[in-house]
Amino acid sequence: MKQSLIGLAVLLSVSSGPSPAPARTPVLIELFTSEGCSSCPPAEALLTKLLSSQPIDAAEIVPLEFHVDYWDRLGWKDPFASAAFSKRQQDYSLTFGPDKVYTPQLVVDGHAELVGSDEPQVLDAIRTAAAKRHLPLEVTASVRGAVVRVSVEAPAATSGLEPTAIGVALVEDAVSSAVRRGENTGRTLTHSAVVRRHQTVGTLQPDGFVAEGEWPVNPAWQRAKLRIVAFLQGEKSRQIYAAASAAIK
């Protein structure tokens, strides 16, 4: 009997196998940057590193690189900049304070802001965000002709949750630019997760639903390098409650 029990124990040990790795929590990081800013390339390099290496076991880092336009007046017009992206950063100043509009600024899950090139502080902020509860969120996208179509499977709004917007961003990786004027004159800069389009496609409802949207695709964009990012953001607090990223099929 003793030998049989030992054999059973060995069998169970072998058949059970290793435990599955715990799921990573998606954490949205937004870098506000400009090609006209000499202190921004190190922050952009860090964002690229975080995207490719995913160094935090508990977190799936979902980056967005928003290029602001207020540096354009100083000699170099950033080809990726938008006044709408500058406004998004200004909107965050209502939460963080009027003096918190600068580059390179990194916003983590809409809740913390810090200098985007400060790697130890950035990693700490991501770990803190990953430890918080997030809502489920799924996004898919496909290109048909010259249009990208996006579908977001939104969860039901939980009890007591503030009005929450469903945001979607179309991003392009591995984008390069030769800077000919301004603080980065003569440098060739490479970017990841450059936001090409951004919009709100709905708000959370008492019942889950599918939100959809579409954008034209610029023929100059690298289709193989495009991705879609979706996120849920509190309309008042600006906190990110969920994020998801997907390749475009």
Task: Give 161: exposed, middle or buried? Use CB within 10 Å, 0-12, 13-18, 19+.
Answer: middle
Confidence of residue 3 (pLDDT cuts 50, 70, 90): very low
Task: Please say if the pLDDT value at position 95 is more than 50.
Answer: yes
Q: What is the pTM of this model?
A: 0.91
57: number of CA atoms within 13 Å, CB side?
A: 3
Q: What is the pLDDT of residue 169?
A: 98
Domain definitions of the chain by residue range: 25-247
Q: What is the pLDDT of residue 226?
A: 96
CATH architecture of 25-247: Sandwich (2.60)
Q: What is the pLDDT of residue 16?
A: 52
Task: Give 65: exposed, middle or buried? Use CB within 10 Å, 0-12, 13-18, 19+.
Answer: buried
Angle, to 10 degrees, between the axis of helix 41-53 and the axis of helix 119-130?
40
Q: How far apart are CA 204 and CA 153, in angstroms?
A: 10
Q: Where are the alpha helices (DSSP H) in the chain?
A: 2-16, 41-53, 83-96, 119-130
Do residues 206 and 164 lie in contact, with contact meaning Cβ atoms separated by under 8 Å?
no
Task: Please say if the pLDDT value at position 10 is more than 90.
Answer: no
Task: Please say if the pLDDT value at position 15 is more than 50.
Answer: no
Q: What is the pLDDT of residue 160?
A: 93
Coil, helix or strand for 69?
Answer: coil
More confident residue, 16 or 36: 36
Taking only the tens place, the pLDDT of each residue in 129-150 is 999 999 999 999 999 889 999 9
Q: How many residues does the chain have?
A: 249
Q: What is the pLDDT of residue 22?
A: 67
Taking only the tens place, the pLDDT of each residue in 51-79 is 999 999 999 999 999 999 999 999 999 99
Q: How far apart are CA 36 and CA 181, in angstroms?
A: 8
Task: Please say if the pLDDT value at position 92 is more than 80.
Answer: yes
| Of 224, 58, 208, residue with least CA distance to 138 | 208
Do residues 195 and 171 lie in contact, with contact meaning Cβ atoms separated by under 8 Å?
yes
Q: What percent of the chain has pLDDT over 70?
A: 91
Q: What is the pLDDT of residue 11?
A: 36
Task: Please say if the pLDDT value at position 178 is more than 90.
Answer: yes
Q: What is the pLDDT of residue 228?
A: 98
